């Protein structure tokens, strides 16, 4: 929206010659019919002591812009979406299989279970949706793309093994996402199963059973023998009720891509989790930077469906390209609009590569603090031994800079791993390595996710660096 000198003069109630004079003072030779850009217009206005009211710029490519707020009375209860996490071999996959198999009811028999990234079962007539990829890596990589799909995390801990490093990671990932945790103490059938030890160990992470005065739900089970599964499902529904999970089935369909791939016969195939509204065959849709019209939908039992409501996973075809897990989708009224937005998003993606989103780094920390953009400094700390991790964490937390808090969201022993970087990216955190280095995958991830990784060998130097960054006194790096 440019104006000519003449038009601007008219708007301001001035003579064009006055404007031309001001322009000359700015070193711009202009005629009455010359177009002026926004910046110049603003300069001239401010010279006249006039404040320019800029029109709120609408970002056409921002999908959030198309999502209307729901009215309270439109909202109804929706099923919880659950992710299973825990240490390797503690029984996540077994539990997912066991839940699915025991709960495919007679009425649904005949359907062949399909892997579409998530499935839904019913417990006492109430649906629950499970994401099919166990583990916190998938969970957090979705979150790093801005997708929050999990309502409840199940933390599986083997009763014969207790709390292990990935158990702790999973706890921290779930906590960083502010998702309630239910503990599934698994392998209760095994000799040497010691649920008390698991409970004891978890108290260290503020996961305290109700019997001991806490408010964390523990369920003892055997995924292998299918024991205790019903108790677990009951607890999930209980937590879901407390969380008051709601959605508006009448709203515009929006949700998240759980997984996507190119199928030889069917083209782009995407598993979507509908989070609000109802998705229908034929809907024009934008999915991440792809678009199309929903050609066909298949549910987790391999059946074709015509429409699906909130918290339901479904596999769709009809997109022009393959979207990415964690991408948002939004349905549009007409195909032309969907195409236009989709194409604009594709274009924008080419211009702004994903990694260019600004992440915190120590260099611009002070600037961001000053601008009020951040109040917490999230830090992930990896060290060679537990003792130094704890010592460093304690000292970092003591750094006292007005209005800013240091938040240690995860500490661990060993090399910096890809999952640390992804957690940092999702939580806008800085990674500190004390006497440890990132492995190759972590290095690559840090580069592409633009995560700031700082390596130190001396505790006070690490503390000094963070403190200096918070105060804006960091020495420039050479």
Beta carbon nearer to ligand GDP, 187 or 328: 187
Q: What angle do CA 34, 44, 24 make, to 5 degrees?
A: 60
Question: Rule CB under 6 A: which of 187-206 touch ligand GDP?
Answer: 187, 189-190
Beta carbon nearer to ligand GDP, 185 or 379: 185
Q: Is 91 one of the annotated binding-site residues?
A: yes
The 318-357 contact track toward ligand GDP, x by CB under 6 A, reads ----------------------------------------
Among 79, 80, 117, 134, binds ligand GDP (CB under 6 A): 134
Among 12, 67, 164, 224, binds ligand GDP (CB under 6 A): 224
* Cβ at position 190, least distance to ligand GDP in Å: 5
In angstroms, rounded to a whole number, what is the distance separating the alpha carbons of residues 240 and 116?
23
In angstroms, rounded to a whole number, what is the distance separating the alpha carbons of residues 207 and 193?
19
Contact (CB, 8 A) for 362 and 296: no
Q: Is 86 one of the annotated binding-site residues?
A: yes
Beta carbon nearer to ligand GDP, 198 or 474: 198
Residue 429, CA atoms < 13 Å, CB-side half-sphere: 27
DSSP strand E in 7-78: where?
Answer: 35-36, 76-77
* Cβ at position 347, least distance to ligand GDP in Å: 41
Q: Is 92 one of the annotated binding-site residues?
A: yes
* Cβ at position 186, least distance to ligand GDP in Å: 5
Stretch that binds ligand GDP, among 24-32, 48-56, 195-203, 221-229 (CB under 6 A): 221-229
Question: Rule CB under 6 A: which of 71-100 touch ligand GDP?
Answer: 86, 88-94
Residue 247, CA atoms < 13 Å, CB-side half-sphere: 24
Q: Is 87 one of the annotated binding-site residues?
A: yes
Beta bridge pairs of residue 219: 184
Q: Is 214 one of the annotated binding-site residues?
A: no
Beta carbon nearer to ligand GDP, 90 or 293: 90
The CA distances from residue 132 to 103, 128, 136, 224, in Å, are 15, 12, 12, 17
Residue 204: other Cβ atoms inside 10 A? 11
Q: Is 88 one of the annotated binding-site residues?
A: yes
Burial 89-111 (b: 16+ CB within 10 A, else e): ebbbbbbbebbbeebbeeeeeee
In angstroms, rounded to a whole number, what is the distance separating the alpha carbons of residues 3 and 70?
39
**Contacting positions for ligand GDP (CB under 6 A):** 86, 88-94, 134, 186-187, 189-190, 222-224
């Amino acid at each position: 929206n440019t104006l000519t000198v003449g038009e601007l003069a008219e708007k301001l109630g001035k003579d064009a010659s006055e404007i031309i004079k001001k322009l000359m003072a700015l070193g711009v030779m202009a005629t009455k019919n010359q177009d002026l850009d926004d910046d110049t217009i603003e300069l001239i206005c401010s010279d006249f002591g006039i404040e320019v009211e800029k029109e709120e710029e609408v970002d056409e490519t921002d999908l959030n812009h198309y999502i209307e707020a729901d009215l309270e009375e439109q909202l109804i209860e929706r099923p919880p979406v659950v992710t299973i996490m825990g240490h390797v071999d503690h029984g996540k996959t077994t539990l997912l299989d066991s839940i699915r198999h025991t709960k495919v009811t007679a009425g649904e028999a005949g359907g062949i279970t399909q892997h579409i990234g998530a499935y839904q079962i019913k417990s006492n007539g109430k649906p629950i949706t499970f994401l099919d990829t166990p583990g916190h890596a998938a969970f957090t990589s979705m979150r790093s793309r801005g997708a929050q799909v999990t309502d409840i995390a199940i933390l599986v801990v083997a009763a014969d093994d207790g709390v292990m490093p990935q158990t702790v990671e999973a706890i921290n990932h779930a906590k960083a996402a502010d998702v309630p945790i239910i503990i599934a103490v698994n392998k209760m059938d095994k000799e040497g199963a010691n649920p008390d030890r698991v409970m004891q160990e978890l108290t260290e992470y503020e996961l305290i059973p109700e019997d001991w005065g806490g408010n964390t739900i523990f369920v003892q089970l055997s995924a292998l023998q299918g024991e205790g599964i019903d108790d677990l499902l009951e607890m999930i529904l209980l937590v879901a009720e407390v969380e008051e999970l709601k959605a508006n089935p009448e709203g515009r369909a929006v949700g998240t891509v759980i997984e996507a791939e190119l199928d030889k016969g069917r083209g782009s195939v995407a598993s979507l989790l509908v989070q609000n509204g109802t998705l229908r065959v034929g809907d024009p849709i934008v999915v991440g930077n792809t678009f199309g019209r929903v050609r066909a939908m298949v549910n987790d039992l391999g059946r074709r469906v015509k429409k699906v409501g909130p918290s339901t996973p479904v596999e769709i075809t009809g997109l022009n390209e393959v979207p990415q897990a964690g991408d948002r989708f939004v349905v549009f009224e007409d195909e032309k609009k969907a195409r236009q937005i989709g194409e604009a998003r594709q274009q924008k993606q080419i211009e702004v590569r994903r990694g260019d989103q600004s992440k915190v780094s120590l260099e611009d920390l002070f600037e961001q603090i000053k601008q009020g953009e951040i109040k917490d400094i999230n830090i992930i700390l990896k060290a060679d031994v537990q003792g130094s991790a704890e010592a460093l964490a304690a000292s970092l937390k003591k750094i006292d800079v007005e209005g800013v808090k240091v938040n240690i969201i995860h500490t661990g022993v060993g090399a910096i791993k890809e999952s640390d970087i992804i957690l940092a990216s999702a939580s806008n955190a800085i990674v500190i390595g004390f006497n440890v280095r990132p492995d190759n995958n972590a290095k690559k991830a840090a580069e592409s996710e633009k995560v700031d990784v700082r390596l130190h060998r001396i505790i006070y130097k690490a503390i000094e660096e963070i403190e200096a960054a918070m105060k804006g006194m960091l020495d420039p790096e050479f």
